[in-house]
Chain A
Amino acid sequence: MATIELRQVEKKFGEVYAVRPMDLTIGDGEFVALLGPSGCGKTTTLRMISGLEAVTGGRIYINGKDVTWLRASERDIAFVFQFFALYPQMTVRQNIAFPLESQGEKRDVVNRQIDEVVKMLDIGHLLNKKPGALSGGDKQRVALARSLVRKPACFLMDEPLGALDAEFREAMRAEIKGLHLAQHATTVYVTHDQVEAMAMGDRIVVMSNAVVQQIGSPAQVYHDPVNLFVANFIGSPGMQLVKGQYGADGAIQLPGGSLYSVPVHWRTALDTKIGRGEIVVGFRPEAAEVDENGPVAGNVFGIDLHGSYVVLHVDLAGDQLVQVRARRDHEYGLDMPIRFGLNADMVRFFDPKTELALHPEASA
């Protein structure tokens, strides 16, 4: 088992930062997701942990041991790539046995470990097939089996589900998480898909532009994003962000003219941080409650059926669309005027100048 620690780790290509100095401590058995859009530095971070990429600053510790300058092969970690990196001329069994045999393991040890992993992933019926004859999902299971069979101290996975279609991805996601729960191997998992990160991660490291934006549990990044980037990136859709004018009377004027009265516990914070001026109101679609007496008014621009509920796209004014979750048992029509309120516990506020979240405690 393993702990991983990054202290002020950075990567520069020439003058350009791929990863700005970052700190991250991953506990033994923890599943940490590195999440961000392409080019944010998540894969580079993973490659530095693995030893495939040298750091240009900072130190990396695995189990308290400084491995900063150790080679990948000396770090006792397994790497699962997005690609199905299987040897096409070998059978599934030979593919899985390969890492053990190349370490010089005895035949009976190899057989025992293969049996174990094959049972866990339910791929016994594939052992004599060649990778070319397998489906995408099965290939990925075999790739997973090959990395599991060595019983490494930790797993580093780089978008392992990226190449699969949506249906398989959902099933494999549950499978990988199930395996993690069974084995408790420390896992660092790179993805650009926030659904995967939320569903799988004990903690999520949100990155953008080479900078760690936030490190937190799924609930933290979802409900308390530290800035506008995280607010928009997490969730499908992202947090609904509406720019308004905060006035001294504790109300925000929204596009279209609606006046939204700020919950009392936020007022001191907003008075000090914003005074009178621009503010961003943030809320999740499920925090809005359709209510004919609600303070926010708009027109229905679109109606999405999502199976068990509908999402109303509400046009506040001109170009400002927000999404509001509503029950299915009511008929909504296009261009119909609508009013809604916001759950006082779930509304958030941001300073548009700094793009940072405001905190109700800030008044203290």
Chain B
Amino acid sequence: MSQVILQNVTKRFKSVSALNDVSFELKDGEFYVLLGPTGAGKTTTLRVIAGLEKQNGGSVLFDGQTMDALPPAERDVAFVFQQYSLYPTMSVYDNLAFPLRSPIRKTPEPEIKTRVSAIAEVLRISHLLTRKTAKLSGGEMQRVSIGRAIVRQPRVYLMDEPLSNLDAKLREALRVELAHLQKTQGSTTLFVTHDQIEALTMADRIAVLDHGKIMQIGTPDDIYDRPASTFVAQLVGAPKINLLDASCDDNALSVEHTGLRLPLVELVRDVLLPSRLILGIRPEDVRPATDGPFTGQVGLVEPLGVETLLHLEVGGRMVVSTVPGISALRRGDAVRFNVVRERLHLFDAVTGTRLQR
């Protein structure tokens, strides 16, 4: 497979800027996720790499060679779309064999048979090979779509939200299989999604995109534990991170209206903090504890089974806390809690950028 580099790619649709100076690098064999909300420019990025869209500036390189002048067919990429693009009148076998039979490749039939059987085995669709694709369930169709993309070994796989049309249970099952497949085959994959769980669970690295700009690039750990901005912090994690207005004096950080006061020595070292900032606390880092220094009142209890979301009213602010299991706390209960000091996030109140390293 290949290494893929985007260098300062810009794309405009008439006067609207879709991609603004986008640069990143997929290492050979990497599972790379582009994460962002609707309209961030994710699909446009894929289409530029595939050659389906011509960029206005910048370059796309595969293994150091520029692809800019090459038409899509000569770039040798495989695309998996959100909607299944299968030939309904053909059997599953013929659908899988189709890319190998293309006039450019002209693979001999015995080899096609070997390849198709192997892929069908991996994707657990061997029993479906003689069926017409119109007769398949959604999950089966998406398996075949993925199979058709990976039956040949292109330089890079481009996947555009391939799981988002599937129901929750199926999505989860296919997500694991896809990640496993990618790891065992070592294929270079660029996977686009707006679903933060898919990004965190599948990616080697994530590029967060918003309004055509890269906001952060990092491993799932980096993105979750050290979000570069309030935007990224809110994009990953469910329930969402608590963001609280705070102010800072020489000794401590105080969260407005809540009575929460945290000595600076426990928070940062060697960082000069502005007087106004935003404190981010992930819900799992708000921990009810009988000897906790802070107090709140339970506003809402949402038992999800594996954990319970507690909406705590703290001096007029709502702070969400997740606790394991099904909590016995009720609306109106007073609670004491603590926050995990080493996992707090500090952002500039004006720019929203992260203040710690």
Contact = CB atoms under 8 A, between A and B. Distances in A.
B302 A334 contact: no
Interface stretch (A63-71, A117-125, A143-151, A232-240): A232-240
A284 B236 CA distance: 24
B221 A199 contact: no
A307 B282 contact: yes
B253 interface: no
A286 to B, nearest CB: 5
A355 interface: no
B284 A181 contact: no
A238 B169 contact: yes
Interface stretch (B58-66, B135-143, B303-311): B303-311
A183 to B, nearest CB: 13
B299 A218 contact: no
Contacts of B180: 301-302, 313, 334
Contacts of B124: 319
Given A178-B299, A219-B303, 14 more contacts: A167-B240, A170-B240, A198-B302, A199-B309, A218-B304, A223-B305, A235-B306, A284-B305, A284-B306, A302-B176, A305-B201, A305-B220, A305-B221, A319-B124
Given A235-B305, A306-B200, A307-B284, A286 B324 contact: yes
A51 interface: no
Nearest to A310: B201
Interface string A179-199: 001000000000000010011
Contacts of A198: 302-305
A320 B282 CA distance: 34
Contacts of A285: 306
A127 B37 CA distance: 29
Q: For A181, A307, A321, which residue has the most chain B Cβ atoms within 10 angstroms?
A: A307
Contacts of B309: 199
B176 A307 contact: no
Contacts of B239: 170
Interface of A: 166-167, 170, 173-174, 177-178, 181, 195, 198-200, 218-219, 222-223, 232, 234-238, 284-286, 301-302, 304-308, 311, 313, 319, 321, 325, 334
A302 B198 CA distance: 13
A286 B326 CA distance: 12
A219 B306 CA distance: 10
Nearest to A311: B201
A284 B311 CA distance: 25
A169 B285 CA distance: 23
A173 to B, nearest CB: 8
B168 interface: yes
Contact of B326 (A178, A222, A302): A222
Contacts of A302: 176, 179-180
B306 A199 contact: no
Interface string B231-259: 00000111110000000000000000000
A200 B200 contact: no
A319 B173 CA distance: 12
Nearest to A236: B168
B25 to A, nearest CB: 22
B197 interface: yes
Contact of B302 (A174, A223, A321): A174
Contacts, number: 87
A304 B282 contact: no
Contacts of A301: 176, 180
Contacts of A305: 200-201, 220-221, 224
A223 B326 CA distance: 10
Given A177-B300, A178-B300, A286-B324, A304 B176 contact: yes
A199 B311 CA distance: 12
Contacts of B324: 286
Interface string B177-196: 00110011000000000010
B282 A219 contact: no
A321 B124 CA distance: 14
A174 B311 contact: yes
A333 to B, nearest CB: 10
Contacts of B220: 305
Given A170-B239, A195-B304, A219-B326, A307 B169 contact: no
Contacts of B282: 307-308
B131 interface: no
Interface string B147-181: 00000000000000000000011001000100110
B300 A174 contact: yes
A238 B169 CA distance: 8
A30 B302 CA distance: 15
B331 interface: yes
Contact of A313 (B176, B299, B326): B176
B306 A170 contact: no
A74 B172 CA distance: 45
A177 B306 contact: no
Contacts of A199: 302-304, 309
Given A170-B238, A307-B236, A321-B176, A286 B300 contact: no
B310 to A, nearest CB: 11
A232 B183 CA distance: 28
A286 B306 contact: yes
B331 A181 contact: yes
Q: For B282, B299, B303, which residue has the most chain A Cβ atoms within 10 angstroms?
A: B303
Interface in B60-103: none
Interface string B304-346: 1110010100000000001011100001000000000000000
Contacts of A319: 124
Contacts of A311: 201
Nearest to A302: B176
Contacts of B237: 307
B191 to A, nearest CB: 14
18 contacts: A174-B302, A195-B304, A199-B304, A200-B302, A222-B326, A223-B326, A236-B172, A284-B305, A284-B306, A286-B324, A302-B179, A304-B200, A306-B201, A307-B200, A307-B236, A311-B201, A319-B124, A334-B184
Nearest to A232: B169
B127 to A, nearest CB: 12
Given A234-B305, A284-B305, A304-B176, A181 B300 contact: yes
A238 B170 CA distance: 11
